[in-house]
């Protein structure tokens, strides 16, 4: 059913996009597109583009590709191969995809480890640009809390210290003194109204970019509690008895089915699963904030010059910043390995289109407009410019492709 | 007088050797048959070889500690698969503990107890159970059985042993006991279908003989029918065991996906097959090799079950 809605929605948007592109000559007088975006659908000859990687980006790419290809007559945009970030990194290193998506940027260590791929090169051979922005929600299922009349007015608040202690096993009860201290409104007549029940902790059973952002947050905010450097490695170990869910949906389903459980999922999964509640998280400015597109955008705005080696926006300053946020990345070859100029053009123009929002009142739908509709947060203008400038460094046979 | 030629058969071949005569017109057909036999064995050999090759980096990294180690943390290069092996054996074992008596009992009922006009619709129902895809069992387990388990069944089980082994620990629905329950329902149709056929093949005169000697119905079923069909029943159980050991999606959805050492039937776990299914996406090459090692262990387990069943059948034939 959901797929049908999404499918028919894509058709509507596609049709709207078609009409809009036909009306560009008339509309051009009122809305001025920059020259690159104005020619985003112009290809010298027919070409095909292939892409693969992170499942985090699947909803965005599957909704955005049909819109782009319907506007670009010479282009064939192949279906996105959602095999995970690791598969995407392998695909771009071995030149089997024109571009790949990964939740965490490729590092020199990743490249060094891929000894079986002869075309892997070095980190300098790749261009990595942000393409999606999202947040990680602290989702929980505790009917004793959510049916309490205190919940509606005060929510349920967690801090980085509480989360780090829950995920290292130091906090096991919902009415732990640290949790009660963070939720002062729940302390009525010196008695903590939070339930005296064990927390069933849910993590990911697979390695995941969502886990990376969450670990990055805990390590950045509480380095003395979660000492390990951020990684995609699961929290579910052989000794702690945490529940493992496969993928964001797996975690969401485990939470729905288990009372007294707490876990972390990508923001759109809280939106999709109405029965899940998201905790308020205390940010670096000591304010408890709910997860929202505005809060994630505020966190991203604190670091305008994001790049693939300095990308972390967790625990961002600012009173409205939601502290567990992060980017997803697209990786391309700096010297395009495309078989024709048109293919190189299509690759770069598609990524440029994906990373931009259409100007207001232009009637067009660009990649970041689709992102906002699909539960992501549109990239801040600064990040869109970062992407544009990085894409300009890509060459085909020594000549700049995007111009 | 009959010539010696006509006795030894067509074109002078001796059928008693168990080899078909080579007639010119049949040569092409025999090549096709041999070819497919060779091809099939070659596919199997190449398949096993490729899994060994794929998993080799993991074996050379961790050696036999893959089988004896208790810490499965692939991202930290810890490949101790003992918890996974134990969870696989426990869930399959508990599932068979319930599915075998119920399955054989159902087969006996369908053959001898209820009249055919009731038996045939029941048979169709049981066979439909086999046609349900495993992911549907998983969804059903997750959405229907998990809440029921955690609020009703697990508290009742825990009450039986007053919270002691094997029903100790946190009762959250997910876990070994739920995986075993789902598995036992999944292997039931396999066991029923095969047992029904082998039980139906028990010679009529054996049963009538026993009845004429004054045996009761339960004596006939348990002392005549089951013993004379035991080889076929063993085959049914070993097929069921194979399915229980290798079942992937449904188990992955209800077992809790936590590679912890099982302490009780309420423990969360992760079987060999479910771990492969949930972790292969986004795995580094080294993790993939470790998952290949799990596949090898799983193949070894299912092959062992098969071998044990064969050995029992051999003994049964001789005895």
- For every residue of A210-233, DSSP letters joined together read HHHHHHHHHHHH-TTTS-SPP-S-
B42 in the same domain as B185: no
Backbone angles phi, psi at A76, to 5 degrees: -120, 110
Residue B177 belongs to a domain with what CATH number?
A: 1.10.3720.10
What is the tens place of the pLDDT at every residue in A322-350? 999 999 999 999 999 888 999 999 999 99
Q: Residue A134's beta-bridge partner residues?
A: A326
Number of other CB atoms surrounding residue A370 within 10 Å: 26
Q: Which two tokens stand for residue B247?
A: 């079942």
- Asked whether the beta carbons of residue A243 and residue B268 sit closer than 8 angstroms, the reply is yes
Q: Which two tokens stand for residue A120?
A: 């892997």
For the residues B196-209, what does the mean pLDDT come to? 91
Tell me what pLDDT residue A6 has: 43
A172 in the same domain as A80: no
For the residues A23-27, what does the mean pLDDT come to? 44
Of the three residues A326, A351, A382, the one that is the final residue of a domain is A326
* A224 belongs to a structural domain: yes
A272: pLDDT strictly greater than 80: no
- Asked whether the beta carbons of residue A87 and residue B281 sit closer than 8 angstroms, the reply is yes
B19 in the same domain as B168: no
Q: Closest residue of A to B79, CA-based?
A: A238
CA gap B253, A94 in Å, rounded: 34
Total-model pTM: 0.79
Tell me what pLDDT residue A109 has: 86
CA gap A367, A59 in Å, rounded: 12
B101 in the same domain as B52: no
B79 in the same domain as B52: no
- Asked whether the beta carbons of residue B147 and residue A257 sit closer than 8 angstroms, the reply is yes
A203 exposed, middle or buried (CB, 10 Å; 0-12, 13-18, 19+)? Answer: buried
* A379 belongs to a structural domain: yes
* B48 belongs to a structural domain: yes
From residue B28, alpha-carbon distances to A113, B14, B15, B24, B49 in Å are 52, 21, 20, 8, 31
The closest CB to that of A258, out of B174, B259, B283, belongs to B174
B314 in the same domain as B170: yes
How many domains does one find in chain B?
Answer: 2
* B1 belongs to a structural domain: no
Rg (CA), chain B: 25
B134 in the same domain as B90: yes
Q: Residue B42's domain spans which residues?
A: 13-62
Kindly list the residues from chain B whose CB atom is less than 8 angstroms away from the CB atom of residue A255: none
DSSP string, A33-84: --HHHHTTT--SS-EEE-EEE-GGGHHHHHHHHHHHHHH-TTEEEPPPB-S-
Kindly list the residues from chain A whose CB atom is less than 8 angstroms away from the CB atom of residue B175: none
Residues of A with CB under 8 A from a CB of B: 55, 83-87, 113-114, 116, 198, 200, 205-208, 231-234, 236-246, 250, 253-254, 257-259, 261
CA gap B194, A278 in Å, rounded: 50
A244 in the same domain as A106: no
Residue A150 belongs to a domain with what CATH number?
A: 3.40.190.10
B132 in the same domain as B273: yes
A204 in the same domain as A140: yes
Instruction: Kindly report the average pLDDT of chain A as a whole number.
Output: 86
Tell me what pLDDT residue B7 has: 46
* B119 belongs to a structural domain: yes
Does the CB of B168 have a partner CB in chain A at under 8 Å?
no
Tell me what pLDDT residue B15 has: 55
B40: pLDDT strictly greater than 60: yes
CA gap B63, A364 in Å, rounded: 58
Q: Which two tokens stand for residue A199?
A: 């927390």
Confidence of residue B14 (pLDDT cuts 50, 70, 90): low
What is the tens place of the pLDDT at every residue in B84-116? 999 999 999 999 999 999 999 999 999 999 998
Measure A249 CA to nearest chain B CA, in Å: 11
- Asked whether the beta carbons of residue A242 and residue B258 sit closer than 8 angstroms, the reply is yes
CA gap B194, B103 in Å, rounded: 10
Q: Residue A128's domain spans which residues?
A: 15-133+327-400
B184 in the same domain as B265: yes
Tell me what pLDDT residue A2 has: 40
* B36 belongs to a structural domain: yes
Name the residue among B94, B65, B104 with its Cα closest to residue B82. Answer: B65
B288 in the same domain as B192: yes
What is the tens place of the pLDDT at every residue in A202-219? 999 887 888 999 999 999
* A246 belongs to a structural domain: yes
Mutation target vs A (from B66, B144, B251, B282; most A CBs, 10 A cutoff): B282
How many domains does one find in chain A?
Answer: 2
Interstrand relation of A187-188 and A277-278 (parallel, antiparallel or unpaired)? unpaired
């Amino acid at each position: 059913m959901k797929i049908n809605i999404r499918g028919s929605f894509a058709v509507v948007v596609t049709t709207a996009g078609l009409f809009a592109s036909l009306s560009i000559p008339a509309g051009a007088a009122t809305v001025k597109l920059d020259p690159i975006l104005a020619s985003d659908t112009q290809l010298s000859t027919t070409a095909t583009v292939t892409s693969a990687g992170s499942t985090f980006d699947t909803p965005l790419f599957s909704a955005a590709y049909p819109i782009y290809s319907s506007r670009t007559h010479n282009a064939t945009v192949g279906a996105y191969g959602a095999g995970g970030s690791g598969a995407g990194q392998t695909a771009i290193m071995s030149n089997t995809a024109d571009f790949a998506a990964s939740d965490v940027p490729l590092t020199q260590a990743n490249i060094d480890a891929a000894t079986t791929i002869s075309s892997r090169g070095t980190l300098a051979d790749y261009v990595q640009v942000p393409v999606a922005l999202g947040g990680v929600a602290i989702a929980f299922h505790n009917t004793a809390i959510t049916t309490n009349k205190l919940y509606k007015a005060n929510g349920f608040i967690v801090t980085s210290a509480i989360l780090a202690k829950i995920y290292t096993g130091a906090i096991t009860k919902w009415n732990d003194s640290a949790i009660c201290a963070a939720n002062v409104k729940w302390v009525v007549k010196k008695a903590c109204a939070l339930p005296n029940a064990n927390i069933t902790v849910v993590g990911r059973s697979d390695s995941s970019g969502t886990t990376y952002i969450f670990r990055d947050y805990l390590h950045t905010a509480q380095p003395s509690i979660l000492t390990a450097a951020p990684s995609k490695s699961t929290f579910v170990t052989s000794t702690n008895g945490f529940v493992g869910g496969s993928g964001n949906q797996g975690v969401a389903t485990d939470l729905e089915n288990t009372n007294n459980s707490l876990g972390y999922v990508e923001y759109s999964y809280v939106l999709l699963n109405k029965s899940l509640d998201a905790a308020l998280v205390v940010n670096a400015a000591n304010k408890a904030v709910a997860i929202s597109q505005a809060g994630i955008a505020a966190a991203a705005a604190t670091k305008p010059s994001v790049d693939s080696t300095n990308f972390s926006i967790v625990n961002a300053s600012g009173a409205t910043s939601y502290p567990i946020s992060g980017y997803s990345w697209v990786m391309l070859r700096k010297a395009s390995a495309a078989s024709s100029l048109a293919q190189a053009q299509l690759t770069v123009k598609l990524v440029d289109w994906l990373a931009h929002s259409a100007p207001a009142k232009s009637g067009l739908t660009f990649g970041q407009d689709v992102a906002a509709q699909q539960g992501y947060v549109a990239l801040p203008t600064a990040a869109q410019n970062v992407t544009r400038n990085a894409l300009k460094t890509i060459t085909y046979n020594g000549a700049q492709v995007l111009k | 007088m009959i010539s010696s030629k006509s006795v030894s058969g067509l074109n002078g071949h001796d059928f008693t050797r168990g080899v078909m005569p080579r007639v010119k017109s049949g040569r092409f057909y025999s090549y096709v048959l041999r070819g497919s036999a060779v091809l099939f064995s070659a596919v199997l050999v190449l398949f096993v070889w490729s899994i060994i090759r794929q998993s080799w980096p993991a074996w050379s990294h961790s050696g036999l500690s893959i089988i004896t180690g208790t810490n499965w943390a692939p991202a930290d290069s810890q490949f101790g698969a003992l918890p996974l092996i134990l969870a696989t054996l426990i869930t399959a074992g508990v599932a068979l503990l319930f599915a075998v008596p119920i399955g054989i009992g159902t087969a006996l009922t369908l053959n001898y107890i209820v009249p055919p006009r009731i038996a045939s619709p029941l048979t169709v129902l049981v066979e439909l159970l086999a046609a349900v895809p495993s992911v549907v069992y998983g969804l059903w387990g997750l959405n229907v059985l998990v809440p029921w388990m955690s609020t009703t069944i697990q508290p009742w089980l825990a009450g039986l042993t007053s919270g002691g082994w094997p029903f100790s620990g946190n009762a959250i629905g997910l876990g070994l006991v739920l995986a075993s329950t789902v598995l036992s329902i999944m292997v039931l149709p396999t066991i029923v279908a095969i047992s029904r056929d082998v039980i139906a093949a028990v010679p009529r005169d054996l049963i009538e003989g026993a009845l004429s000697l004054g045996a009761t119905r339960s004596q006939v079923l348990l002392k005549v029918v089951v013993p004379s069909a035991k080889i076929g029943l063993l085959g049914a159980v070993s097929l069921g065991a194979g399915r229980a050991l290798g079942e992937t999606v449904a188990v992955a959805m209800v077992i809790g996906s936590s590679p912890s050492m099982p302490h009780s039937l309420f423990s969360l776990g992760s079987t060999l097959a479910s771990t492969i299914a949930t972790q292969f996406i986004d795995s580094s090459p080294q993790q993939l090799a470790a998952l290949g090692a799990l596949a090898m262990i799983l193949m070894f387990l299912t092959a062992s079950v098969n071998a044990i069943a064969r050995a029992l059948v051999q003994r049964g034939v001789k005895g």
